[in-house]
């Protein structure tokens, strides 16, 4: 098992995650690619889907916010001795041959996606095929989304916190 240095704020959240995860009514063994997570304050939800044949994308998901705003999410593991699942959430990105500039303009959050187990142990988002962790942590998600084009009168109004708890498994 790989040991990972965890930022202090993530460590502090681990205790509350253990309690939240213990109260979750989620299935015991659900593969991450079928997992459904929820955030209690805003009602936001994350639905994972199989990533498909991509050589670089290790996880695919969508975040559903209030007012039916949907953000498309992916995770790609970085390479090297400090490999991490680098996640991105995008809002209304163009399709087809997209430039880096266009992709940057529609990306509303980027960062490492952490996981936590029922005992509060913090790890990293697993790739497809592994069991879904009890909780996911998206550091600084709320402030990033609040500054995005998806937030406001024409978008979502309830800003989610950084922690999502496993709710169930898609069939």
Q: Is the pTM of this model over 0.85?
A: no
pLDDT, one tens digit per residue, over 50-107 is 988 777 888 999 999 999 999 999 999 888 888 899 999 999 998 888 888 988 999 9
Which pairs from 147-155 meet CB under 8 Å and 24+ separation?
A: 148/91, 148/108, 148/109, 149/91, 149/92, 149/108, 150/65, 150/69, 150/71, 150/91, 150/92, 150/108, 155/65, 155/67, 155/69
Domain ranges in the chain are 10-166
Q: What is the pLDDT of residues 111-168, one digit of tens each?
A: 999 999 989 899 999 989 999 999 999 999 999 999 999 999 989 999 999 999 999 9
């Amino acid at each position: 098992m790989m040991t990972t240095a965890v930022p202090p704020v993530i460590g502090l959240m681990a205790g509350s995650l253990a309690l939240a995860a213990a109260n979750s009514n989620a299935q015991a063994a659900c593969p991450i690619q079928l997992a459904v997570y929820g955030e209690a304050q805003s009602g936001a939800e994350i639905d994972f889907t199989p990533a498909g044949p991509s050589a670089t994308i290790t996880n695919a998901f969508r975040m559903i916010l209030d007012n039916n705003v949907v953000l498309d999410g992916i995770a790609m593991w970085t390479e090297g001795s400090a490999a991490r699942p680098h996640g991105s959430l995008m809002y209304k990105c163009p399709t087809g041959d997209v430039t880096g500039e266009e992709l940057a303009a529609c990306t509303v959050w980027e960062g490492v996606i952490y996981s936590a187990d029922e005992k509060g142990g913090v790890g990293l988002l697993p790739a497809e095929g592994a069991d879904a962790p009890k909780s996911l942590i998206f550091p600084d998600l709320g402030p990033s989304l609040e500054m995005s084009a998806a937030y406001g009168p024409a978008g979502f109004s309830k800003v989610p916190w950084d922690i999502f708890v496993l709710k169930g498994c898609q069939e």
